[in-house]
Amino acid sequence: MIKETLKVLFIDNCTLQEAADKLGVKQNDIKDRLLMLQHMGYVREICNNSIPKSSACCSCTAASSCSDNDDISGSKAYQLTDKGKRICRN
């Protein structure tokens, strides 16, 4: 499940809905998997400069508590960590 989810989201570069369709699950399940992968250290949240209201949002320690940043599908960006890259290569 981990490898397949990582590959669909980051190697195939699918949207959450496309990933859900490919994996035969609901979009909310993909969101949950993405959060789990973050907690496990396979992905990390990065600043998505196209989304914040201002450039200060990227460095603001309170950014995660903003009401606009609670939707994982549109307001956050993620990238593979070295750990995530290793599992995708195997």
Q: Where are the domains of the chain?
A: 2-89
CA 83 to each of CA 18, 61, 73, 79: distance values in angstroms, whole numbers, following the listed order = 24, 25, 23, 11
Angstrom distance (rounded) from CA 10 to CA 78: 9
CATH architecture, range 2-89: Orthogonal Bundle (1.10)
Could you report the per-residue pLDDT of 21-78, keeping only the tens digit for each?
999 999 999 999 999 999 999 999 887 655 445 555 565 666 655 545 444 445 678 8
- CA angle at residue 32 from 29 to 38, to 5 degrees? 140
Structure-token pair, residue 60: 């603001």
